Structure 1
Amino acid sequence: MDTAAADRPSATYDRIGRGYSEIRRPDPRLNALIGQALEGACAVVNVGAGAGSYEPEDADVTAVDPSQVMLDQHPGAKKVRAGAEALPFPDGSFDAAMAVLTVHHWADLNRGLGEMRRVARRQVVFTWDPTHRPELWLLEEYLPEIRELDHARFTPVAEVADALDAHTVTPFPIPHDFTDGFQCAYWSRPEFYLDPVIRRASSTFAQLPPSVVEPAIARLRADLDSGAWHRRHADLVREQSMDYGYRLLIAGT
């Protein structure tokens, strides 16, 4: 195993991972989409598995993650501490390899995707497209620093699809009552961003200093108290779901 590659993304999750599973609760609609993509796979490796969200219940799953803190929260029996760039498995070990909101943490995206293709005949990747518009209001109105950070981490979906040789790219609009507390989950429930416990479950928030985050959250709190946020977003809160650029990619057979 490439220990250095394993340690780089683990640092953030060793810091934010405790209690992660309490906020990042799998959403049944996303679970159904990913489950459909993995249908028929008996042996699955979950690369960047974290606490095990969206793993198929009817498959033999091996969880891989560089963070021991995250693996300790994973309920599965097969857990391996490793980085995506050096999966410690023989060629063709699995029917499918899955990666959910993790590829932006990899030190070498192409190498990690290549490893997924090496060890499994099917690859399923859920990620976010930084080129998509509209973007979440939080970035434009309160924290443009998130935009800068995410655009530096995320690779455009078209490039990921090309590197993976994906044959299917499916949009996933985020429902207004989405249960998995990643960054865009609360697009119609802005009061949730005021909760520091929720912010700690987001790797983006965790990498920004309090001197940046706290004044922005104070402005959001003031806008919520005054009604200014709801006046600006009266049309938005009536929507049932919003496409903020999340995509499910499928490659292989």
Structure 2
Amino acid sequence: MNDPYGVFGRGYVHRRRTDPRIAALIESALGDARTVVNVGAGTGSYEPLGRKVIAVEPSPVMIRQRPPGSAAVVRAFAEHLPLPDQACDAAMAILTIHHWRDPGRGLAELRRVARRQVIVTWDQAVMARFWLIADYLPEIAEAERDLTAFDAIQAELTRQGALLNVMNVDVPADCHDGFLAAYWARPEAYLDPAVHASISSLAKLSPARLEEMTARLADDLAGGRWQERHGALRDAGSLDVGYRLIIAEAG
């Protein structure tokens, strides 16, 4: 199996931690599910307690970072889940669909193995307005146009006969997780190479481009230009930067 996380997945366990407020939304979305398959499970963030969890993850780099006591993990891809039909009450996929080779087939697999699907992804149109992308890294918005769009995920689930409920996932200013827009109120974090390494869309950029972005942002922070444009964000407790929670069930 090809393992893209062999390049930029190291250190995920330290930076990509469960945020309890986002976890509470996911727990609620899982409803009364007793058995859950976590597809694209990574290092185990957001795996619910008190339920039987089966983790599916293709990357050995990620699997090795799963802490002791984590759910049993099967090395497999979303497009070929090694489970029988309706094996679980719910299937969860948290910030992973953009890494799947065939999202349509992966979503069909979620529907095949579980009656309920709980998906966290993002709306690219909203994310493109996030200051880090709009002001410093517009190429990320361009690159993400080639990913499975938020609208396409909804359309595919609807085509497969699912009933959908979509919720905004507002990101807390002190978010514990370290995904792309987690530091919207803490711009200094984007100067840290360790932060870059734990965000796939940043880690995929060339070192020269990351260095250029870091230098520009550092200069804008030192000169007060970032504060002039975005300083009011520091007073907000949370922000909608495009993340969405999709709950789908058979119609």
TM-score > 0.5 by shorter chain: yes
Give yes or no for contact 2:19–2:176 (8 Å, CA) kept in 1. Answer: yes
Alignment correspondent of 1:63: 55
Unaligned runs of 5+ in 1: none
Q: 1:77: how far off?
A: 4.3
CA separation of 1:186 and 1:133: change in aligned 2, threshold 3 A = closer
| Separation in 1, partners of 2:248, 2:16 | 26
1:222 aligns with 2:219: yes
Alignment correspondent of 2:86: 92
Alignment correspondent of 1:231: 228
| Separation in 2, partners of 1:57, 1:178 | 20
Secondary structure of 2:22 counterpart:
helix
Alignment correspondent of 1:180: 177
Secondary structure of 1:112 counterpart:
helix
1:48 aligns with 2:31: no
| Separation in 2, partners of 1:154, 1:136 | 19
Give yes or no for contact 1:45–1:94 (8 Å, CA) kept in 2. Answer: yes
CA separation of 1:166 and 1:182: change in aligned 2, threshold 3 A = farther
1:37 aligns with one of 29, 46, 65: 29
Alignment correspondent of 1:136: 130
Alignment correspondent of 2:154: 161
Give the ranges of 4+ consecutive aligned residues of structure 1 lying more than 4 Å apart after TM superposition.
none
| Separation in 1, partners of 2:135, 2:249 | 40
Q: Which amino acid aligns with 1:90?
A: P
Alignment correspondent of 1:149: 143
CA separation of 1:163 and 1:183: change in aligned 2, threshold 3 A = same
1:22 aligns with 2:19: no
Q: Which amino acid aligns with 2:119?
A: V
Q: Which amino acid aligns with 1:205?
A: L
Q: Which amino acid aligns with 2:103?
A: L
Q: Which amino acid aligns with 1:187?
A: W
Give yes or no for contact 1:143–1:213 (8 Å, CA) kept in 2. Answer: no
| Separation in 1, partners of 2:127, 2:194 | 28
Q: 1:236: how far off?
A: 2.2
Render the CA deviation track for 1:110-169: whole Å, top value 9, x for unaligned: 1000000001111100000112267210112111122122222241x2321221234210
Alignment correspondent of 1:104: 98
CA separation of 1:61 and 1:169: change in aligned 2, threshold 3 A = same
105-114 or 124-133: bigger deviation:
124-133
Q: Which amino acid aligns with 2:155?
A: D
| Separation in 2, partners of 1:98, 1:133 | 22
Give yes or no for contact 2:128–2:138 (8 Å, CA) kept in 1. Answer: no
| Separation in 1, partners of 2:71, 2:196 | 29
TM-score by length of 2: 0.93
Give yes or no for contact 2:103–2:148 (8 Å, CA) kept in 1. Answer: no
Q: Which amino acid aligns with 2:199?
A: S
Unaligned runs of 5+ in 2: none
Give yes or no for contact 2:128–2:134 (8 Å, CA) kept in 1. Answer: no
Render the CA deviation track for 1:38-95: whole Å, top value 9, x for unaligned: 1321111100000111111011111111101111122324111111001111111111
CA separation of 1:133 and 1:185: change in aligned 2, threshold 3 A = closer
CA separation of 1:116 and 1:133: change in aligned 2, threshold 3 A = closer
CA separation of 1:45 and 1:143: change in aligned 2, threshold 3 A = same
Q: Which amino acid aligns with 2:77?
A: G
Alignment correspondent of 1:80: 74
Q: What is the root-mean-square deviation in Å for CA atoms of aligned residues?
A: 1.4
